Amino acid sequence: MIIDTGEADVTEQDRLVAAVQEVAWELARQRAVGEGGMDVASPWEPGLSQDQRRRAWLATRSALEAVRAEAGRLAEDAAARAVEYGAEPEEVGKRAGGRWSRLFSRAGENRAGESRESGAALGVLSANGRAASSRLDNLFPM
């Protein structure tokens, strides 16, 4: 489903869906067809055979799984950074829809056993095992 973001009644959720869909299709087009990619603009392209449409949807599915995995890692990293800068578990959980508490093992302590009042310090591991740091040279390349 392609969403026209120029319409007045398009919601933020609609725009998010359209953006993720476009990212997934772009990833699927970048992969070689023999490696799970697609050789069409989208699964909705007019005039596709059933086999082309099937391959396009499978490529889209694979790309969406890659997007989901990376978005999860980025969300965990963002939560770890928030904790590093003093965010409380309730605050982090609220922003994640109540689904995030991995850095906190017991009330009042983070995963490293430090008091929440002090915040996370350099050297604390993020939720995916990378070292948390406020150094700009330790950030992911963009």
pLDDT tens per residue across span 20-58: 999 999 999 998 877 778 889 999 999 999 999 999 999
The residue with tokens 């950074």 is 81
Concatenating the DSSP letter of every residue in 44-107 gives T-TT--HHHHHHHHHHHHHHHHHHHHHHHHHHHHHHHHHHHTT--HHHHHHHTTT---TT-SBT
pTM: 0.61
Q: What pLDDT score does 126 carry?
A: 45
Judge contact between 124 and 110, C-beta under 8 A: yes
Residues of the chain under the 50 pLDDT cut: 1-3, 5, 105-113, 116-142
What are the backbone angles phi and psi of residue 10, rounded to the nearest 5°?
A: -75, 130
Q: How far apart are CA 76 and CA 68, in angstroms?
A: 12
